[in-house]
Amino acid sequence: MSNTKAYAAQSATSLLAPFSFNRRAVEAHDVQIEILYCGVCHSDIHQVRNEWGGSIFPMVPGHEIVGRVAQVGNHVKKFKIGDLAGVGCFVDSCRECPQCKAGLEQYCEVGMNSTYNGYEKDGKTPTYGGYSTNIVVDENYVLKISEKLQLTGVAPLLCAGITTYSPLRHVGVKKGDKVAVVGLGGLGHMAVKFASSFGAEVTMLSSSPTKEAGAKKLGAHHFVLTSDAKQLNAVKNKFDVILNTVSAPHQYATYLNLLTVNGTMIVVGAPPKPSEVPALNLIIKRRSIVGSLIGGIAETQEMLDYCAECNIVSDVEVIDISYINQAYERMLKNDVRYRFVIDIASLKK
């Protein structure tokens, strides 16, 4: 057991504040990682504020974790002390159901063990996430990280990266496809980078007029301000794929209208309130709407290797842990370019 410094929320209405707890001991198949950086996902805010229901407190958020291996169990094969390592949104799963066997652990039929706001395999020890100095995880659920990339920009790949890479691959986005991304935050900016690297013609659909130049720098070919009806009307029936990353309640119909025949809107944003899906908006062009949850371990490794090969990282603003509550407020105002990443050294001060 090791004493671990962290930041936690004690309830859905309290700010994040210093907290400490004991990590479990390193067992035969575990690695202990000294955390260097942890990204700040909008899912952290949803869960800290109990917007999805069922939150477990105290809560130490954080599921975009990178660091160095500090200790390995006797049977660990993939890692040695000193290696870079990453942990994403889950730290275990049943390993036996058809989804786990197919490498789709995120859809485990028993339920994956979330990195935080969940329980370890014993079903009773709460999991605590990456706003902390170290984490202990079974090596099968730990990712290998290239030494080539800038580490601050790698952390967000563990959630924002895989959550956008996986569905774009799943629907088979390829050269020449017309892809739109809704919402230019952490997920949205990775979606722009991936879709353009797959050769798609990318349009950014944003509610923020100030984000046009930034979107184009990230690889978007076009920018549409969604509050401008004229601009929106000009892209009606146009896109093959729309990746919707919006975190706040909104109407799906607005974006469904922009899909061409057989077009697909992939929903990854998880607003706390439902949206209506008008039947006619689907019927008239045989459109589909699908959801997607992060990605499995093998695909997350594939994405990390792809990023190392193509030199893709997240664009980040590195913060001290003491800034976390302000960072949340800025995210809620759509004011992040494009991911906050906590320098975990600031927790040790």
Residues 191 and 168 sit within 8 Å (Cβ to Cβ):
yes
SS (H, E, C) 144-200: ECCCCCCHHHHHHHHCHHHHHHHHHHHCCCCCCCEEEEECCCHHHHHHHHHHHHCCC
Taking CB under 6 A as the criterion, which residues in 276-295 touch ligand NAP? 292-294
Task: Find out whether 72 and 120 touch, Cβ atoms under 8 Å.
Answer: no
Provide the minimum distance between the beta carbon of 52 and Zn ion in the complex, in angstroms, as a whole number.
Answer: 12
Taking the least distance from each CB to ligand NAP, the nearer of 132 and 247 is 247
248 near ligand NAP, rule: CB under 6 A: yes
Residue 186 contacts ligand NAP per CB under 6 A? yes
Round to whole Å and give the CA distance between 21 and 217.
42
Helix (H, G, I), strand (E, B) or coil at 139: helix
- If contact means CB under 5 to 8 A according to the sort of partner, which of ligand NAP, Zn ion, none does residue 36 touch? none
**Dist. CA 87–CA 157, nearest whole Å:** 10
Residue 94: name its binding partner from ligand NAP, Zn ion, none (Cβ under 5 to 8 Å by kind).
Answer: Zn ion
Element (H, E) at 215: helix 212-218
Task: Assess 93 for contact with ligand NAP (CB under 6 A).
Answer: no
CB of 246 to ligand NAP, least distance (A): 4
Binding of ligand NAP by 222 (CB under 6 A): no
Of 159, 242, 303, 313, which one interacts with ligand NAP (CB under 6 A)? 159
Closer to Zn ion by Cβ: residue 159 or 241 = 159
**Residue of 106, 85, 86 lying closest to 94 (CA atoms):** 106
Among 178, 211, 222, 238, binds ligand NAP (CB under 6 A): 211
Binding residues for ligand NAP restricted to 319-348, rule: CB under 6 A: 331, 334, 336
Computed from CA positions of residues 75, 79, 81, 87, in that sequence, does the dihedral angle turn out positive or negative? Answer: negative
Residues within the interface to ligand NAP (CB under 6 A): 41-43, 46, 159-160, 163, 183-188, 206-208, 211, 245-248, 250, 268-271, 292-294, 331, 334, 336
